[in-house]
Structures are given as C-alpha cells and as structure tokens.
Structure 1
Amino acid sequence: MPGPQPRPNVAQIPTYVAGRPPTVRPGMTSYKLSSNENPYPPLPGVVEAAHRAVETMNRYPDMRNAALYEALAARLGVPAGHLAAGTGSVALIYQLLSAFCEPGDEVVYAWRSFEAYPIAVAAAAARSVQVPVTADGRHDLDAMLAAITPRTRCVMVCTPNNPTGPAVSQRDLDAFLDAVPEHVLAVVDEAYLEFVRMDDAVDGLATYRDRANVVLFRTFSKAYGLAGFRVGYAVAQEPVAAALRAVSLPFGVSTPAQAAAVASLEAEAALLERVDALVAERDRVGSGLRELGWDVPDAQGNFVWFGLGERTAAFASAADGLGIVVRPFAGEGARVSIGEVEANDRLLELARTFPR
C-alpha cells in the first residue's frame, strides 16, 4: 500500500546549490568566493547588539518586528505598514508566490538569474517562464513583455542580475512597467542595490511609490554582512505587504537577527565605506580582466561573471587549485564574488593563465 504522497509539483522543485566552502590546503589561506558574501566582519555595534539579544533567547522573537519596521520606515521614508520582513529576501519570494499564485499561474523572469526563482515557483505549483538574458548578461525586457500571457501572475526583475552582473536602468524599467498589466505583480529584486554605480540607476522607492503593483525585495545579507542571520524585507503598497505578512512564518526573524539589522542601519557611515571599498575592488578586478582579454559583463553587484560554457568545470577546478572556490553553473559559466584583496589577486592570476 503506497504511503502519503506530496503534491506533484514537489517532485519538480529543483535543488538549490549553495556555494561550497573552500578546500583546506596546508600552508595556504583559502578563500570562499562562491556565495557573494561580504568579506568584512560585522559593522561596529552589531555584535554587541546581537549579544544583548541572545540573553533573551528563552523568549520568542517579536513577531511584529516592531523595532525593525520602525528603523526601516525611518530610514526609507515609508509607512511601516508597507514593510514585510522575512528570513532573507529569498523567503519573501516564497511568501509572495504563496500569497498570489494559483496552481498553473505563470511567473516570468530572466534566465539565468537568481537560482531560487524556479525553486520558489515550483513550490507554489506555478509555472516558470524563463526568458534568456542577452549575450552580455542583461535582461531582455522586450522579450519578457512578450512572454506575458493571461496566466501571468508575476514578473521578476533582478537588478543587478545575479549571477551575470548588469543592472537595469530606470528608463528601461519604467518603459517595461508601463507595459506590464496592472494586475500582474512586478518584483524589483534589489539584493545588491548598494553596489550599483551607473548612470540612471533604478530608484526602487520612487518606483514603488508610483505603482501599486511593484514590490521591492531587499536584504541585509550582502552589503550589511548579515548573511548568517537571514534578514530580508519587502517594500510594497499596503495590500501587498499585508499579504506577505499574512503568509510569513510566525517568529521567523530571530531576536538577535532583528537587533543586528537595526544596529546595522545605525552604522550606515561605516557600511558605505566598506561598500565603496568593495566597489573599488570590483572595478579593479573588472578592469584587470578586460586588460587580459576577457569579455566580462558590466558588474554592478559584488561579483563578476565568466561566460565559459563547457569550460566552466575546468575553470572551477583551476580556481580551486589556487585556493579560491567559485560558483560554477554547469555548461554556462562561473560567478566569482569580490573578496579579500589577496583572493581577488588570485582570481586575476587565474584569468591570466586560464585559456580564453
């Protein structure tokens, strides 16, 4: 007699592949450049705030996230009712699709893009409509518009795009959103927004204020360096934000995580210094790669992309031999995070010696 069976869509959920840790090599410092983590330690005051919060671990977290919402509302200039927190912005993707998608509804997004998108779509029993990025790793917004059908419930724009790197301009985003039907949710995934340095960069807050169907996803994992604490948030008009809160996991964001996020917002000056340093390293690496003859996409996050095709596995293996671990996407390419200066120098050495 067969036992209980999950819904058919569960068998279709792809496995999330996390960036693996570096190989330990005697006499050599190894570096993890596979997960787009911030190489800096926590910002000033963050560890102390988290330690104080740990002292109350016998109590449940504040399910209302009151202190976090108050700090974010003040920082962003938005009503607290327009915010929804989750365990990383990835959790908010699940919450959004759970709240708004019926089985068989379509979700349109660029591909390759964030690896969690097809996982969350399948978990919601919806259907992924993947639109290939352009040759230089950009969203093909015209093709994404053409992919919208009466079954489309959501379109997602990842800017800067993970893993390829380019960001969408405000002009192009506005033209895209003008053509998206008002009943379709338009996600602007800004996990790497602090690293963007380009003309006509997207102003997510202004965009959400002008459009009832726009949802911003942001995270404390990247620029703020809280990847291990899992704190993300959405900004949306009240009905959408309320739906996200309604389907959230009760007590999902821990007390230390909330405290660390609030303390990180208070340390913005130090944050911006670190982000500027990482952007300078990113630009140094990008310039070095182009001088070596590599054609890499415009990097607006804290990572660079190598479109390697079938040579991806060999590139990842060669990187491992130099004590750096990268994130390979089989048959497509490799994403390499910007890390410590020594790690970035080893990446440039790899680029110099690896056949193009």
Structure 2
Amino acid sequence: MAGSNVTALFRASTAHSPSYFTLNRAGGGPAGEITDFCIPCNPYFPTPAMFDQLGRGLREILTYYPSGAETITAELCQVLGLNPQTVAMGNGSTELITWIDHLLVHESLAVPVPTFGRWTDQPMETGKRVDMLLLPEAHGFRLDPTSFVQFVRTRGSRVAVICNPNNPDGGFLPKQQVIALFDALQDLDLIIVDESFLEFSDAEPDPSVAAEAVLRTNVIVLRSLGKNFGLHGVRFGYLVSNPSLAGKVRAALPKWNLNSFAETVVFMLKEHRQEYAESLQQACRDRQEMTWRLAQLPGLTIYPSQGNFLYVRLPEGVDGTVLRDRLLAEHGVLVRECSNKIGSSSRFLRLVVRPQQDVLRLMSAMEEVLYGQRTQVPEPLPEPLAPMLAQAPQPRQQPLPQAQLQQPGPMPMLALAQQPVDARGIRPVRSTGTPAVDRLIAQA
C-alpha cells in the first residue's frame, strides 16, 4: 500500500476515521486489500445468498424511488413486534441523534465518556452545554449508575445519555440497573439509551429496555440496523419511545429519508430471521476467542465487552497513532486508534470482532510491529521455490561496503520505546521504512 498517502488521511481526519473506500483509493490497491478492524458491523450477515438476491435486484433498487418511511417502518415493526406509533426510522442513527438534539435537547446534556462521539459533538455544535463524566480506567471504564445520577444532579443537566453497551469499551449495564436509572432521573426532560450494539450482547436473554421506554414520557431508546445487519452503507436505524416523542421526531424527518436498499433489506428480514440469529451467536463466540488470543500478547490489557468490539490498552511506551499507521502501511490491517475520543488517548485501540482467520492476521501484524517477531505462526508456511533467475549464471559483483550490508529494517515499537535519550532529552529515532511514520515517531 502507498503508506504515506494513507497515513496522511488519518492526520487530516479529526472526528472520525477515513472511510474504507477513501483508504482503498489512497492505497492504490484492489478492493478487499484491507483487513478491517475499524468499522464495527456484523461480518456474517447478510448471508452470501442474501447478497446474491440484492445483486439480482440492483437495477430496480437503484432505479426507483423507495416507498414512504411509514411503509418501511410498518414492515420493520411487524418483524420486531413493535407498534409503529412508537417508532421513528432514520437514515442511520446519526440522523436520529441530530433530530433528537434539535427537537428535544434544550439546555444541557450529561454523558459518560469515552463514548460515541456524536453524543458529545452534536449538542456542542448547536450550543448546548455538555456535562461529561469521565469513566475511570482504574475500574475498567465501568459506569456506576449511582455516581452518574449524582453527577447529573450536581451539574443540573436536563438530558442524560448512556450507550449500552458503551462505545468504545463495550461496557454493559444490566436491564434492571438501566430501569433503576430511569426511576432515579424521572424528572429530567429526556433520558436516552443508545442500544446500537446491544444485539451483540449475550449477558442477558432480553437486555433491551425498549418496551420500558414506550411506557415512560421522557425515555428514548436508539437502535442501529446497519451495525447489526452488517450494512453500514445502507444507513438505517430507528428509535423507540412513547407515541408523543416518536411522533414529534417522525414529523420532523424529511420525506423519503429511507432509501430503496433499506426498504429491500427490511422486507427480506422475515425470511432470514434464523440466519440473523445465528450470525449474532457466531459474533459472540468470535468475541470470546479474540479476547483470549489478544490476551496472549505481552503488555496488552483487554477490557470486558458486550459489543462486537474490544477496547485495548497498549503496552507502556507505544503510541497508538504510530502503531495504526504501521499496521496499515506494512500489513494492510486497519485498526481504530482512540486518541480523538474524549476521555481516551493514543494508548487505546478499539478492535472490531472478526472471524478467526482475520484475527490471526492481526496477531501476526501486531507481534511484528510491537515486538519485532512472530510469537505465533497460524500455519506452517510452504517452502519457497527458488527464483528462476537464480539458476542462471550471474555476473560477478564487487562486495558491498559493510555499512550498506547492514541497512536497518523497521524497528519494533517496544524496542523504540526503550531507546535511551541523549543529553537534550531526545530519543534517537531509527527509520521505520515509511517516511510518514518516521515523522510521526519523531513528533511523538
């Protein structure tokens, strides 16, 4: 990959990672060259047969207007067993977050951090006060509901938001604790529970509080379909609340805010419920396997997660921005470095749960970049064939000077962190083989 082009994209992006398509274009490689541990969607759904079905209908999907949102919402509600009057569908959960902020957040909003960036950025962009409770690293970033309630009272916040599971750490609050939070904050203007990743949780048989939200006057539950269905590009999500709140948001949404791909997928769901359920079960198994494997790498801390991602603290002395760039430039592995999340830093990565063969590639790449060696080799590599030209007589060459024979390769990051500093307090930097990465290390 063209490392300097690609790493420059991350430095130019302050709020979010560059898109998969942008990275592929910058790298100059074919689609699929990147192994993506950044975008948190379901790798097992839709099934190959569903993609084939979508492909056969592609001309019609792209040619014709979709039905109105009320038609698509009614079908989704029939599949999920919801009353359409309690649901509003949006062009991705971000559209719904935007309208919730414009319509229902008037003064201030309290949210634990780190969390999904739109819950802090969106209200700040519209001039609201955002009160942020820092989740303690010493407690594994777990949210203590009692501390959050006390924080809301102390700050006088009028809206409270929690993500369950939380993004990026995957922290989870049991259903009864969330309901107790509703009771403790029942006088607020609004309480929002973002359940975008809850489908990937296996902590409880029925962890959602959507049914409870319908019965309360100040609660909204947000759900994401793109992440669950593995279709970020379709952009669709929904909220559940009492009919008054849901109707207020529905009335503000643009006409035809849902596209024909979203409609097609929603109308396919009835026939594929079993495959969807199996995909979530496999993702949970993958999370357990990936947690165990990453825990074998020295110096890494992996926090308990109920999402389809893992929050990882890197070894002391490792800068996540440099690690991210080297993994991408040298190995084609894309990870989410978290320094641009409020309450996080470049010591942390969020790694999406993926199938075992992809995790083995990630492990191999991290071992080489961090430690300069592979401590685990997934499969024995075949013996390489001798190059054809090696069998032909070669012209005699003069021996190279000794200095040229010892050109350094990319330096392991942990070895770099252990280099001594000079009298000026500056650590000498050895070339990584990628000029853009060298500059990053020099500035670290």
TM-score range, shorter chain: 0.7 to 0.9
Choose from 167, 178, 190 the match for 2:195: 190
* Distance 1:164-1:90 versus aligned 2 partners, 3 A rule: same
Higher helix share: 2
Give the whole-Å Cα distance in 1 for the aligned partners of 2:364 and 2:182. Answer: 42
Answer yes or no: is 1:344 the counterpart of 2:366: no
* Distance 1:247-1:153 versus aligned 2 partners, 3 A rule: farther
Q: What's 1:4 paired with?
A: none
* Distance 1:307-1:247 versus aligned 2 partners, 3 A rule: farther
SS at match of 1:74: helix
For residues 115-150 of structure 1, the C-alpha deviation after alignment (integer angstroms, 9 at most, x for no partner) is: 221222123331211111232122243332123258
Answer yes or no: is 1:131 the counterpart of 2:133: yes
SS at match of 1:108: strand
For residues 81-130 of structure 1, the C-alpha deviation after alignment (integer angstroms, 9 at most, x for no partner) is: 1110101111111111111123xx11111111002212221233312111
Please say which of residues 85-94 and 54-63 is displaced more in the overlay.
54-63
Asked if the contact 2:336–2:349 (Cα under 8 Å) also holds between the matched residues in 1, the reply is: yes
Give the whole-Å Cα distance in 2 for the aligned partners of 1:341 and 1:30. Answer: 16
Please say which of residues 250-259 and 79-88 is displaced more in the overlay.
250-259
How much does 1:324 deviate? 0.9
SS at match of 2:143: coil
SS at match of 1:252: coil
Q: What's 1:10 paired with?
A: none
Q: What's 1:273 paired with?
A: 278
* Distance 1:51-1:211 versus aligned 2 partners, 3 A rule: farther
Answer yes or no: is 1:35 the counterpart of 2:43: no
Q: What's 1:79 paired with?
A: 83
Give the whole-Å Cα distance in 1 for the aligned partners of 2:18 and 2:351. Answer: 10
Please say which of residues 245-254 and 148-157 is displaced more in the overlay.
148-157
Please say which of residues 255-264 and 157-166 is displaced more in the overlay.
255-264
How much does 1:56 deviate? 6.5
SS at match of 1:69: helix
Please say which of residues 55-64 and 267-276 is displaced more in the overlay.
55-64
Give the whole-Å Cα distance in 1 for the aligned partners of 2:120 and 2:251. Answer: 23
Asked if the contact 1:46–1:263 (Cα under 8 Å) also holds between the matched residues in 2, the reply is: no
Asked if the contact 1:34–1:326 (Cα under 8 Å) also holds between the matched residues in 2, the reply is: yes
For residues 22-67 of structure 1, the C-alpha deviation after alignment (integer angstroms, 9 at most, x for no partner) is: 665979943121111333463444663586485275654333331x
* Distance 1:265-1:93 versus aligned 2 partners, 3 A rule: farther
Please say which of residues 309-318 and 157-166 is displaced more in the overlay.
309-318
Q: Which residues of 2 match residues 309-328 of structure 1 at below 5 A?
A: 311-320=319-328, 321-328=330-337
Answer yes or no: is 1:94 the counterpart of 2:103: no
Choose from 262, 268, 271 the match for 1:263: 268
Asked if the contact 2:337–2:350 (Cα under 8 Å) also holds between the matched residues in 1, the reply is: yes
Asked if the contact 1:40–1:225 (Cα under 8 Å) also holds between the matched residues in 2, the reply is: yes
Give the whole-Å Cα distance in 2 for the aligned partners of 1:205 and 1:118. Answer: 23
* Distance 1:156-1:54 versus aligned 2 partners, 3 A rule: farther
* Distance 1:57-1:201 versus aligned 2 partners, 3 A rule: closer
Percent identity of paired positions between Structure 1 and Structure 2: 21
Give the whole-Å Cα distance in 2 for the aligned partners of 1:292 and 1:201. Answer: 34
Asked if the contact 2:303–2:311 (Cα under 8 Å) also holds between the matched residues in 1, the reply is: yes
* Distance 1:15-1:266 versus aligned 2 partners, 3 A rule: farther
Query: Root-mean-square deviation (CA), in Å?
Result: 2.9
SS at match of 2:42: coil
Give the whole-Å Cα distance in 1 for the aligned partners of 2:358 and 2:54. Answer: 30
Structure label with greater radius of gyration: 2
SS at match of 2:226: coil
* Distance 1:351-1:57 versus aligned 2 partners, 3 A rule: closer
Give the whole-Å Cα distance in 2 for the aligned partners of 1:181 and 1:340. Answer: 42
Aligned AA for 2:320?
T
How much does 1:20 deviate? 4.6
Give the whole-Å Cα distance in 1 for the aligned partners of 2:146 and 2:338. Answer: 25
Please say which of residues 286-295 and 253-262 is displaced more in the overlay.
286-295
Asked if the contact 1:47–1:260 (Cα under 8 Å) also holds between the matched residues in 2, the reply is: no
Q: What's 1:215 paired with?
A: 220
Aligned residues: 340
Aligned AA for 2:126?
A
SS at match of 1:222: helix
What TM-score do you get using the length of structure 2 for normalisation? 0.69
Q: Which residues of 2 match residues 1-356 of structure 1 at below 5 A?
A: 16-21=15-20, 24=27, 29-40=33-44, 42-43=46-47, 44-45=49-50, 48=53, 52=57, 55=60, 60-66=65-71, 68-102=72-106, 105-135=107-137, 136-149=140-153, 152-199=157-204, 202-292=207-297, 294-308=300-314, 311-320=319-328, 321-330=330-339, 331-332=345-346, 333-350=348-365, 352=367, 354=370
Asked if the contact 1:216–1:236 (Cα under 8 Å) also holds between the matched residues in 2, the reply is: yes
Give the whole-Å Cα distance in 2 for the aligned partners of 1:18 and 1:83. Answer: 30
Divergent runs of 4+, >6 A? 25-28
Question: What stretches of structure 2 of length at least 5 have no aligned partner?
Answer: 1-12, 340-344, 372-413, 415-444
Asked if the contact 2:91–2:237 (Cα under 8 Å) also holds between the matched residues in 1, the reply is: yes
Aligned AA for 1:271?
Y
